[in-house]
């Protein structure tokens, strides 16, 4: 097998973003396992920067893990035209074919990247694109659909209904999904089972060597009472405001010393009286071990988001031996809970109340759920399992098996 080219419009060893982190983790572990690969990217800094600005130096560099990164300069783009179309998509509106052309040509303009891929295509067995909606994925895969594999990170959103994607994606060689509901959505949208595109529900690799110390967390942060934990970005997109609202109602209705502990960046409005009483404790960013310790000490982790493609914090909670409570409106997290028997799900306040009551009254069974989840993660998402699945899938796609 020749080398694999992973294509993403911005790359850095510390830049934020779920797809960006997934790419780093996958390539680092595949490289460590001896897979010959490179990263093809632009000189853009990250998703939050100016997509017309060449922040990084053009050319070839090596990551700290020894992976080759090839960077290509971007050129000027019509930002206003792109923003106008993107605003419609962000509001959930469908766009015209002419607007699709603007979206895919004025997002990131990097002809040098595509020229390199055309000139050197025979050096690569496959090009792997992440995520689906970025124009480097569409424009790169359009050149070599039969050598193109996507880690798409699909959501049921307006972007997924772009007609250009429906034309191209069924022509590609492979699709790698993070969870079964994503694969089911993709099948409804694109009909991969009828197209010959090879697909796999891969998931995301996890460090399964987590060792939590719940008592250390309680000592460090002075928390003696039982608590629910939320770990992640604090904003309305993650539905954290619903968790805060439901928790506030719960402690009004119950004679309990239960607390809610929030970990992570961002900010939302919290009830001042509950913060003052330390019934809701916002710790902000903590280091990774403190997060694991908190997850291990909690009664359960609540992931209220309705729009997740995987959810690392659920997997971490299970590896820490604790069950989870997820929103029934999120197909991915609900599916994980059902497959693993590692938690419960809620859709409204009274379901949240019932699940919380059950966890507090059935601690032995809750502990077993956490153990079920941990075994599920180790069996499906340990890095040695994921690396072998990637290697096998790549061989199948290029016809070596």
Task: Encode pLDDT of 292-301 as tens digits.
Answer: 999 999 999 9
- Give me the residue label for tokens 């490289």: 31
- Cα dihedral sign, 43-68-391-29: negative
Over the chain, what is the mean pLDDT? 95
Of all residues in the chain, the percent with pLDDT exceeding 70 is 100
CATH code: domain of residue 251: 3.40.50.2000
What backbone torsions phi and psi does residue 20 show, to the nearest 5 degrees? -65, -45
Average pLDDT estimate for 14-33: 92
- Same domain? For 288 and 301 the reply is yes
**pTM, whole model, 2 decimals?**
0.88
- Same domain? For 24 and 72 the reply is yes
- Same domain? For 56 and 79 the reply is yes
Task: Encode pLDDT of 69-86 as tens digits.
Answer: 999 999 999 999 999 999
8 A C-beta contact, residue 333 and residue 305: yes
- Same domain? For 186 and 232 the reply is no
Neighbours of 158 (CB within 10 A): 17
- Same domain? For 233 and 159 the reply is no
Number of domains in the chain: 2
8 A C-beta contact, residue 108 and residue 87: no
- Same domain? For 195 and 223 the reply is no
Residue 198: closest CA among 147, 160, 162: 147
Structural domain harbouring 275? 214-380
Structure tokens at 330: 């999120």
- Same domain? For 287 and 235 the reply is yes
Task: Encode pLDDT of 221-263 as tens digits.
Answer: 999 999 999 999 888 889 999 999 999 999 999 999 999 999 9
Distance CA 292, CA 286 (A): 10
CA distances from 346 to 156, 325, 328, 340, 343 (A): 21, 7, 5, 17, 10
- Same domain? For 341 and 388 the reply is no
The helix-helix angle for 363-381 and 349-361 (nearest 10°) equals 100
The pLDDT value given to residue 401: 66
CA distances from 130 to 20, 246, 274, 329 (A): 8, 36, 42, 25
Task: Encode pLDDT of 130-184 as tens digits.
Answer: 999 999 999 999 999 999 999 999 989 999 999 999 999 999 999 999 999 999 9
Residue 47: closest CA among 81, 21, 77: 21
- Same domain? For 127 and 32 the reply is yes
- Same domain? For 151 and 162 the reply is yes
Distance CA 15, CA 141 (A): 24
- Same domain? For 113 and 8 the reply is yes
The pLDDT value given to residue 145: 97
8 A C-beta contact, residue 84 and residue 91: no
- Same domain? For 273 and 366 the reply is yes
């Amino acid at each position: 097998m020749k080398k694999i080219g992973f294509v993403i419009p911005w790359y850095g060893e510390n830049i934020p973003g779920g797809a960006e982190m997934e790419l780093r983790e996958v390539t680092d572990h595949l490289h460590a396992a001896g897979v010959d690969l490179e990263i093809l990217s632009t000189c853009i800094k990250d998703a939050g920067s100016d997509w017309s600005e060449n922040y990084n130096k053009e050319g070839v560099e090596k990551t700290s893990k020894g992976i080759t990164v090839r960077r290509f300069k971007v050129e000027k783009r019509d930002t206003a035209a792109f923003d106008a179309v993107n605003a419609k998509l962000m509001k959930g509106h469908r766009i015209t074919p002419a607007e699709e052309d603007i979206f895919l040509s004025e997002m990131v303009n990097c002809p040098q990247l595509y020229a390199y891929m055309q000139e050197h295509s025979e050096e690569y067995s496959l090009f792997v694109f992440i995520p689906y909606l970025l124009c480097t994925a569409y424009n790169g895969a359009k050149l070599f659909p039969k050598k193109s594999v996507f880690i798409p990170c699909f959501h049921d959103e307006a972007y997924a209904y772009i007609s250009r994607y429906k034309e191209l994606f069924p022509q590609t060689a492979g699709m790698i999904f993070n969870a079964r509901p994503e694969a089911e959505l993709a099948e409804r949208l694109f009909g991969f089972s009828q197209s010959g595109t090879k697909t796999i529900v891969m998931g995301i690799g996890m460090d399964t060597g987590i060792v939590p110390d719940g008592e250390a967390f309680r000592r460090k942060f002075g928390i003696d009472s039982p608590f629910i934990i939320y770990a992640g970005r604090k904003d309305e997109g993650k539905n954290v405001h619903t968790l805060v609202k439901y928790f506030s109602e719960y402690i009004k209705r119950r004679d309990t010393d239960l607390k809610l502990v929030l970990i992570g960046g961002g900010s939302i409005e919290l009830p001042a009286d509950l913060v003052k009483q330390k019934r809701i404790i916002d710790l902000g960013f903590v280091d990774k071990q403190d997060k694991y310790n908190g997850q291990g000490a909690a009664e359960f982790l609540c992931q209220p988001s309705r729009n997740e493609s995987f959810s690392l914090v659920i997997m971490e909670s299970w590896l820490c031996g604790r069950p989870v409570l997820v929103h029934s409106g999120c197909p991915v997290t609900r599916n994980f809970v059902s497959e693993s028997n590692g938690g419960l799900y809620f859709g409204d306040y009274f379901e949240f109340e019932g699940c919380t009551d059950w966890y507090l009254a059935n601690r032995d069974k809750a502990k077993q759920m956490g153990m079920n989840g941990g075994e599920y993660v180790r069996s499906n998402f340990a890095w040695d399992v994921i690396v072998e699945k990637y290697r096998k899938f790549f061989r199948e796609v290029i016809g070596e098996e």
